[in-house]
Amino acid sequence: MDQKELEARFRKLTRQAAETAMELHDLTEELPGAYLRIEEVARKAFLKHKEWAEAREAFEKASGS
Protein backbone atom coordinates (compact mmCIF):
# COMPACT_ATOMS: atom_id res chain seq x y z
CA MET A 1 0.00 0.00 0.00
CA ASP A 2 1.13 3.51 -0.65
CA GLN A 3 1.09 6.21 2.00
CA LYS A 4 -2.27 7.60 0.94
CA GLU A 5 -3.92 4.17 1.18
CA LEU A 6 -2.31 3.57 4.57
CA GLU A 7 -3.63 6.90 5.81
CA ALA A 8 -7.14 6.14 4.57
CA ARG A 9 -7.06 2.71 6.22
CA PHE A 10 -5.76 4.23 9.46
CA ARG A 11 -8.52 6.86 9.49
CA LYS A 12 -11.20 4.25 8.79
CA LEU A 13 -9.90 2.02 11.58
CA THR A 14 -9.70 5.00 13.95
CA ARG A 15 -13.42 5.55 13.42
CA GLN A 16 -14.22 1.86 13.79
CA ALA A 17 -12.14 1.57 16.97
CA ALA A 18 -13.98 4.54 18.44
CA GLU A 19 -17.28 2.86 17.59
CA THR A 20 -16.28 -0.34 19.40
CA ALA A 21 -15.18 1.71 22.41
CA MET A 22 -18.62 3.31 22.44
CA GLU A 23 -20.23 -0.14 22.26
CA LEU A 24 -18.29 -1.09 25.41
CA HIS A 25 -19.43 2.09 27.09
CA ASP A 26 -23.05 1.49 26.11
CA LEU A 27 -22.84 -2.07 27.36
CA THR A 28 -21.80 -0.88 30.81
CA GLU A 29 -25.04 1.09 30.99
CA GLU A 30 -26.99 -2.09 30.26
CA LEU A 31 -25.39 -4.09 33.05
CA PRO A 32 -26.07 -6.26 34.92
CA GLY A 33 -28.81 -7.38 32.54
CA ALA A 34 -26.56 -7.62 29.48
CA TYR A 35 -23.72 -9.47 31.22
CA LEU A 36 -23.85 -12.28 28.65
CA ARG A 37 -22.64 -9.85 25.96
CA ILE A 38 -19.51 -8.72 27.83
CA GLU A 39 -17.16 -11.25 26.25
CA GLU A 40 -18.50 -10.73 22.71
CA VAL A 41 -18.32 -6.93 22.83
CA ALA A 42 -14.93 -6.88 24.58
CA ARG A 43 -13.45 -9.32 22.04
CA LYS A 44 -14.74 -7.24 19.14
CA ALA A 45 -13.25 -4.09 20.67
CA PHE A 46 -9.94 -5.82 21.40
CA LEU A 47 -9.56 -7.09 17.83
CA LYS A 48 -10.51 -3.75 16.27
CA HIS A 49 -8.08 -1.82 18.49
CA LYS A 50 -5.33 -4.32 17.68
CA GLU A 51 -5.99 -3.84 13.96
CA TRP A 52 -5.98 -0.06 14.51
CA ALA A 53 -2.61 -0.20 16.33
CA GLU A 54 -1.07 -2.21 13.50
CA ALA A 55 -2.42 0.24 10.91
CA ARG A 56 -1.09 3.18 12.93
CA GLU A 57 2.34 1.59 13.08
CA ALA A 58 2.36 0.96 9.31
CA PHE A 59 1.18 4.51 8.60
CA GLU A 60 3.78 6.05 10.90
CA LYS A 61 6.52 3.94 9.37
CA ALA A 62 5.50 4.99 5.85
CA SER A 63 5.29 8.63 6.97
CA GLY A 64 8.70 8.56 8.56
CA SER A 65 7.25 9.57 11.93
Domain residues for 38?
A: 3-63
Question: How many structural domains is the chain composed of?
Answer: 1
pLDDT of residue 1: 81
Q: Is residue 65 over pLDDT 70? A: no
CATH number at residue 15: 1.10.287.660
The overall pTM is greater than 0.75: yes
Q: Let me know: does 19 contact 45? Beta carbons within 8 Å.
A: no
Distances in Å between the Cα of 58 and the Cα atoms of 4, 37, 40 are: 12, 32, 27
